[in-house]
Amino acid sequence: MTARGTITLTDLVIDTNIGTYGPGDVIPDHHSLDLTLIVPRTAVLIPSDDMAHVFDYDPLIADILQLAQSGHRATQEWLMAQIATLCAGYSQIEGVEIYLRKTPVHGGTGTLGVRVFLNHEDLRQLVAIA
């Protein structure tokens, strides 16, 4: 197996509008995102303290936040698929795990989410579709 690095983002609360709710339905307070990016080890084990050597994740996070606010979605899965497509557009990302969740689910408690793992080939297929 080739050495690789990861960049991990956890518990990012995103401002988004997901779901259709009726009377008596529990409306989530918020949605949260965990994102683990698989990158070349050379983007983590860098030869000197210089941003030129690392994967700059700030533009990706800005893209995700902008995407999340871009309109209503019926499902978490659709936003997750769109986030995956964003990740596929970054050539340094060799794989990704995305976990998107909402809370609460019932009686002020619970978290309900969806998760996907995509390898390098999965990401390249998304690029080809987009």
The 10s digit of each residue's pLDDT in 64-108 is 999 999 999 999 999 999 999 999 999 999 999 999 999 999 989
**Cα 31 to Cα 18: distance, rounded to the nearest angstrom:** 9
pTM of the entire structure? 0.92
Question: With 60 as the cut, is the pLDDT of residue 38 above it?
Answer: yes
**Cα 71 to Cα 55: distance, rounded to the nearest angstrom:** 28
Pairing of strands 72-73, 17-18: parallel
Residue 24 Cα to chain centre, angstroms: 30
Architecture of the CATH domain 4-129 = 2-Layer Sandwich (3.30)
Q: How confident is the model at residue 1 (pLDDT cuts 50, 70, 90)?
A: low
**Cα 59 to Cα 67: distance, rounded to the nearest angstrom:** 12
Average pLDDT over the chain reads 94
Pairing of strands 30-40, 95-103: antiparallel
How many Cα atoms sit within 13 Å of 35 on the Cβ side? 22
Q: Is residue 124 classed as helix, strand or coil in its secondary structure?
A: helix
Q: How confident is the model at residue 3 (pLDDT cuts 50, 70, 90)?
A: confident
What share of the chain in percent tops pLDDT 70? Answer: 98
Instruction: Delimit the domains of the chain by residue range.
Output: 4-129
**Cα 83 to Cα 118: distance, rounded to the nearest angstrom:** 12
Ranges of beta strands (E only) in the chain are: 4-14, 17-18, 30-40, 72-73, 95-103, 112-118
